[in-house]
Amino acid sequence: MVETLSGLQHHETFDVVVIGAGGAGMSAALFAAIDGAHVLLVESTEYVGGTTAYSAGTTWIPNSQHGPSINPDDSAANAEDFLRRAVGERSSAALRRAFLQAGPQAVAHIEANSDVKYRARPFHPDYLSELEGSTLRGRALEPLAFDGRRLGRHFALIRPPIPEFTVLGGMMVDRDDVGHLLNMTKSFRSLRHAVKLLARHARDRLNWPRGTRLVMGNALIGRLLASLLARDVTVLVSTKLEALRTNASGAIDGITLSQNGERRQITVTGGVILASGGFNRHPQKRRAMLPGADPTWCPGAPGHSGGAQDLALAAGARYGEGALSNAFWAPVSIRKRADGTIAVFPHFIMDRGKPGMIVVNRQGRRFLNENTSYHLSGIAMQEAHRTTPSVPAFLVTDADGLRKYGLGMVRPGGKGLAPFLADGYLTQAATLDELAAKLGIDAAGLADSVARIGAYAQTGIDPEFQRGTTDYQRANGDANWPGPNPCLGPIARAPFYAVRLYPGDIGAATGLVGDAKARVLNRDDQPIGGLYACGNDMQSVMGGVYPGPGITLGPGLAFAYLAGRDAAARAKAASSGVGAGSIPGSVSGSVSVEPAMAPVAHAAARAANEKIV
């Protein structure tokens, strides 16, 4: 059920309220609803999906029911040892164990009781594959494709993917589709697959504003939305959380919401689950926690303004400490679209790790291993910039590299370059000296870096940065490359090309401290009754480390499972008249808690125009 706020009664009661309709928030709402709770899901923007809708939808859950078919030798002990080596003291070992235990349960429970379905990728290595306990397959799950037409008019609620990640005006493609499209002139199987995709998209565009075959993060959000609607969960979009109401014992028992001039006081019996996406677009917190990172470099969806966290902090919560970084990172390139909006393109796997690609700083020198994870690459850019201008950095290739792999928003094939050259997104030059001059970097340094990488390509050994020395790094190279190292190739054939790279924050790692039930803890390490956090609102169990694919969505799902079910159980206990001693924060009386600092203004809310049941 999707409603406008005016459709709710003043002081209407819900068992569970979830703030934020990204992957974690929608999952928490669904888990509570599966357990019979009366649930309200609140989203500040006009779309559901959050940054999950932009993502690949990969969910890192070791030892799920799908894992053994791909990797029967994995175990919970292996995963725990791997995280201990990767994360160490940067997060609580007890919380990591809670995640590893709850994750498989969450997958089994959501698949058995909803439209959400996963499969394990046949080959998707942990990013820190050099560590003992890592695996090459079985831990990374992806959602099955979803037919958006099943949602009818509610399809419009799903946040569309980043346009630059689609083709032909809104057709979504996943990594398998990309392979078929690139190989369609060489393989009948790929041609058949491509023709089927194109025919489906052509039919879609007769009746829909974009393709309805949803894959990756959009598929996960579509499946979650269908499941929530089937269980009569009330969904409010373009709605702002203004206050948390606490009772005399400090427990949360209500909230204040606003939408398009309307305000409502809502009573909550089981709990409020915060899943609003973190602090990344909170101006004050961003300056303090991500110094030097321009907000225009952030590729995340709007909405993660930190306002919900302000309210939680005012109610006694606290931020976690000790993470490697306050955020997760990726190198991004930036381009102004024709409509004036800014496209921020994360460089995950398609270009920078391929042979014939290097990343250099203002001196024209390489300063990192181009095949490390996007998170480590983003951190390396910032660390290098402290001593040598490295932001922006420059991703450099030649005519062969551009044709084979593309370059950021420039697609493989080497055609259609004129618009990218005209607006300066792509720089082209006949010689390396000319490229250096256009970029404003040292020509001698660039020439030397290119000469070195050419020599390394012949030997297969990169003595400077050990590029292509782990399974993960080699997986992101080119398996068909004829040289000795799939990550190393020469840059030799003119013209030469480059795009500028910036460190973009793709999600928060620092969040509210919680326990093994996702209950938010106060400064005395005691649960704040009725307050939960999951997703990027919760302190990451990965401690700011990025050990594998989907390590934000995986814990997001696991702690959504713990929060949703605990809040639903708390509501049931309250309705059954369990004594106050058994339900934290059940003392009568209330006081409104306002944020310590004014909430950041959300993007202009666009209220829904009608009530849909």
- Which residues does 340 contact at the CB level (< 8 Å), separation at least 6? none
* Token pair for 261: 């001039």
In this predicted model, which residue has the larger pLDDT, 198 or 159? 159
By C-alpha distance, which of 56, 377, 333 is closest to 221? 56
Angstrom CA distances, 52 to 114, 194, 455, stand at: 18, 26, 41
Q: Tell me, what DSSP letter sits at residue 602?
A: P
Q: What is the pTM of this model?
A: 0.92
In Å, how far from its chain's centre is CA 425? 25
Phi, psi of 215 (to 5 degrees): -130, 170
Residue 498 backbone class (left: φ over 0; alpha: ψ -120 to 50; beta: rest): beta
Angstrom CA distances, 416 to 395, 413, 422, 431, 496, stand at: 19, 9, 11, 21, 16
Sequence ranges of the domains in the chain: 1-170+215-326+509-613, 173-209, 333-505
Residue 393 predicted with pLDDT over 70: yes
Q: Tell me, what DSSP letter sits at residue 604?
A: P
SS3 state of residue 494: coil
Neighbours of 484 (CB within 10 A): 13
Contact assessment for residue 45 and residue 602, using Cβ atoms and an 8 Å cutoff: yes
* Token pair for 546: 């990025």
Given this chain, do its domains 1-170+215-326+509-613 and 333-505 carry the same CATH topology? no
Q: Model confidence at 74, in pLDDT bands (50, 70, 90)?
A: very high
Q: What distance in Å separates the CA atoms of residue 297 and residue 283, rounded to the nearest whole number? A: 14
Whether omega for the bond prior to residue 392 falls within 30 degrees of 0, making it cis, is yes
Residue 613 predicted with pLDDT over 80: no
Contact assessment for residue 520 and residue 528, using Cβ atoms and an 8 Å cutoff: yes
Q: What distance in Å separates the CA atoms of residue 591 and residue 252, rounded to the nearest whole number? A: 10
Q: What distance in Å separates the CA atoms of residue 486 and residue 355, rounded to the nearest whole number? A: 6
By C-alpha distance, which of 529, 560, 504, 506 is closest to 20? 560
Q: Reduce the secondary structure of 361-376 to three states and give it as a string.
A: CCCCCECCCCCCCHHH
DSSP 314-374: HTTB-B----S-SEEEEEEEEEE-TTS-EEEEE-SSSSTTSTT-EEE-TTS-B-S-TTS-H
Span 89-114, pLDDT tens digits: 999 999 999 999 999 999 999 999 99
Mean pLDDT across 359-388? 98
Q: What is the CA radius of gyration of the chain?
A: 24
Residues in the chain: 613
Span 283-337, pLDDT tens digits: 999 999 999 999 999 999 999 999 999 999 999 999 999 999 999 999 999 999 9
Residue 608 predicted with pLDDT over 60: no
For the 1-170+215-326+509-613 domain, the top CATH level (class) is: alpha beta
Residue 416 backbone class (left: φ over 0; alpha: ψ -120 to 50; beta: rest): left
Pick the CATH number of 333-505 from 1.10.10.10, 3.90.700.10, 3.30.1490.390, 3.40.50.1980: 3.90.700.10
Phi, psi of 54 (to 5 degrees): -80, -20
pLDDT at position 348 is: 93
For the chain, the average pLDDT equals 91
Residue 578 predicted with pLDDT over 50: yes
